C-alpha cells in the first residue's frame, strides 16, 4: 500500500489530475475491474453504500491488487469509523459533512497517530500486516495515509478560510449535490449559485496550496471544471456506470 499511496500523492504534488468512481455495489469484482480499467482511485462508500466493514476489506484488497488507490468514505466523524477504515488497510479516508475548523481538526486527529493526532492504537490489524510489520514503520506509514475533507453545505463555505488553516489533510472535496440543496436548488449542480460557491472554494484552496476535488456524473460537468484547477475528480458511481452501459447497449440493439 505504501507504493500506491506514494504514487497517488506524487501525482497530486506534481499538479496532475486523478480520476476514480464512487463504489456502492459491495462487489470486489467491480473494484478490481475499475483498477484494471486504469482509474487512479476508487471511493469505497460507507456513508451511502450498504457495505459492511467485513466486506469492505475485500474491496480494499481488490483495489490494491491492481495498484488503484482505495479511499473509504466513512459513515460519520466518529473516531471509530475513521480508525476502522484505516485498520482494514485503506490508503485514505474521506470524511463527509465537514462544517468548520473544529470538525476538521477532530477528524484529522482521529486519522493520525502521535505526534500528528491521537488515533487509537492496535497493531493486530490488516494495515499492520496483522502485527508482523515493525511498529515504528506502521505508525510512520499510517500517518502518511491520505485524508480527504468533504465540504458540502453553506455553513462549510462560510467557514472555508478557517478550515483551510487546519494542517495535515491532503484534499478538500466539494460535494455539489448537498451544496445545491443547502443553497435552495436541490440537484441543480450547474446552477450559478452552486458554481459561484464552488469557484470560491477552489480559489481559496489554491491560495493555501490545497488540492481540491468534486463529484461529476457527466462529461459535460467534467468539461465545466477541467480547467479550474481541480485535481481529484470522482466520476459517477459503479452502479450508475453499469446502468448507463447496459442502457446504451440496448439502445444500440433497438436501432
Q: Is the pLDDT of residue 255 over 90?
A: no
How far, CA to CA in Å, does 12 sit from each of 129, 206, 210? 27, 13, 10
- How much is the pLDDT for 253? 96
Domain boundaries, the chain: 2-253
Q: Is the pLDDT of residue 237 over 90?
A: yes
Catalytic residue annotation:
48
Average pLDDT over residues 179-200: 95
- How much is the pLDDT for 77? 96
Average pLDDT over residues 157-177: 97
What's the whole-number average pLDDT of the chain?
96
Average pLDDT over residues 111-138: 97
For the whole model, what pTM was predicted? Answer: 0.96
Give 23's pLDDT tier (boundaries 50, 70, 90). Answer: very high
Give 55's pLDDT tier (boundaries 50, 70, 90). Answer: very high
Phi, psi of 237 (to 5 degrees): -135, 145
pLDDT tens across 68-109, in order?
999 999 999 999 999 999 999 999 999 999 999 999 999 999
Fold topology of 2-253? TIM Barrel (3.20.20)
- Residue 70 contacts residue 41 (beta carbons within 8 Å): yes
Phi, psi of 218 (to 5 degrees): -145, 155
Amino acid at each position: 500500500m505504501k507504493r500506491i499511496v506514494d504514487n497517488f500523492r506524487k501525482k497530486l504534488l506534481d499538479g496532475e489530475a486523478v480520476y476514480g468512481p464512487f463504489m456502492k455495489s459491495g462487489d470486489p469484482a467491480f473494484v478490481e475491474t475499475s483498477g484494471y480499467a486504469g482509474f487512479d482511485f476508487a471511493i469505497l462508500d460507507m456513508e451511502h453504500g450498504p457495505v459492511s466493514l467485513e466486506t469492505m476489506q475485500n474491496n480494499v484488497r481488490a483495489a490494491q491488487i491492481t495498484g488503484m488507490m482505495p479511499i473509504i468514505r466513512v459513515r460519520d466523524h466518529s473516531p471509530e469509523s475513521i480508525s476502522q477504515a484505516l485498520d482494514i488497510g485503506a490508503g485514505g479516508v474521506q470524511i463527509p459533512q465537514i462544517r468548520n475548523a473544529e470538525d476538521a481538526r477532530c477528524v484529522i486527529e482521529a486519522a493520525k497517530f502521535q505526534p500528528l493526532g491521537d488515533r487509537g492504537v492496535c497493531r493486530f490489524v490488516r494495515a499492520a500486516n496483522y502485527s508482523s510489520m515493525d511498529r515504528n514503520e506502521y505508525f510512520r506509514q499510517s500517518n502518511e495515509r491520505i485524508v480527504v475533507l468533504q465540504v458540502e453545505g453553506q455553513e462549510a463555505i462560510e467557514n472555508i478560510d478557517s478550515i483551510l488553516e487546519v494542517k495535515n489533510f491532503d484534499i478538500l472535496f466539494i460535494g455539489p449535490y448537498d451544496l445545491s440543496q443547502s443553497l435552495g436548488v436541490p440537484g441543480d449542480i450547474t446552477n450559478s449559485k452552486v458554481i459561484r460557491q464552488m469557484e470560491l472554494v477552489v480559489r481559496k484552496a489554491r491560495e493555501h496550496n490545497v488540492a481540491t476535488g468534486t463529484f461529476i456524473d457527466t462529461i459535460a460537468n467534467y468539461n465545466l471544471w477541467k480547467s479550474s484547477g481541480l485535481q481529484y475528480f470522482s466520476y459517477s458511481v459503479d452502479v450508475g456506470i453499469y446502468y448507463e452501459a447496459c442502457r446504451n447497449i440496448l439502445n444500440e440493439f433497438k436501432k
